[in-house]
Amino acid sequence: MADSGNQLERINAIWDEHLRVARTLPTFASTVSRAVDLIYSSMVAGGQLLIAGNGGSAADAQHIAAEFTGRFLLERQPYRALALHVNTSSLTAIGNDYGFEHVFARELSAHARPGDVLLAITTSGNSQNILHAIEAARKSKVAVIGLTGESGGKMRAECDLCLCVPSKSTARIQEMHITISHAICELVEERLSKA
């Protein structure tokens, strides 16, 4: 049986760490505002948001896409958003034929049009398939918003906007990514509903 006192201390330490990182979010406000502007400008012109991530970040990519294609807070028309990993046949075929590092780049190249936006999510900033997707986005004239962790990794210099959560903890970084993404969803939805 676990030591309940130690377990409670551990739970409180997790909450404290979460709150410490969350308190840094106001420093991202101007960058989040610019991300909202990029996505809004793309969508109001008929563009789409393409989202890529691995593991938990893949789950976040699907979550964010669903907020746009379904609804977030408002009853409205669906907005164009696509998580690039959801077609398992394409994902496995591309991974098998070209290598896993190309799965997002090939999907992006197939679906993207100039003026679209890529939301690239990687807690390390160094995932090869994300870096290749950013390269493909550049070739397709697609703007790139990055969500990553403390250092920003290699992707930091490759994005139009990069939000680097100041933590080394994958869990804390992902928690902030979804908070940032929800703010973006809410503001883009609000602006598009008035367009």
**Averaged pLDDT in 10-residue chunks for the chain of 195 residues:** 80 96 96 98 98 98 98 95 97 97 98 98 98 98 98 97 97 98 98 94
CA distance 186 to 42: 16
Burial 136-160 (b: 16+ CB within 10 A, else e): bbeebebbbbbbbbbebbbbeebbb
Q: Whole-angstrom Cα distance, residue 76 to residue 189?
A: 9
Instruction: Quote the tokens at residue 186.
Output: 């809410």
pTM of the model: 0.95
Q: What confidence tens digit (pLDDT) does each residue in 23-67 have? A: 999 999 999 999 999 999 999 999 999 999 999 999 999 999 999
Q: How many residues does the chain have?
A: 195
Residue 145 tokens read as: 């918003």
20, 12 Cβ separation under 8 angstroms: no
Angle made by CA atoms 120, 121, 122, in degrees to the nearest 5: 125
Let me know: does 63 contact 179? Beta carbons within 8 Å. Answer: no
Helices (H), 23-169: 29-44, 56-69, 88-98, 103-111, 128-139
Q: Closest by alpha carbon to 144, among 49, 27, 80, 22? A: 49
Whether 123 and 131 have beta carbons less than 8 Å apart is answered as: no
Quickly tell me which residue has 């100039």 as its tokens: 114
pLDDT value of position 9 = 94
Match domain 4-194 to its CATH number in 2.60.40.10, 2.60.120.590, 3.40.50.10490, 1.20.120.420. Answer: 3.40.50.10490
Q: Where are the domains of the chain?
A: 4-194
Task: Map tokens 């936006």 to a residue.
Answer: 117
Q: Cβ–Cβ contacts within 10 Å for residue 109, how many?
A: 15
**pLDDT number for residue 141:** 98
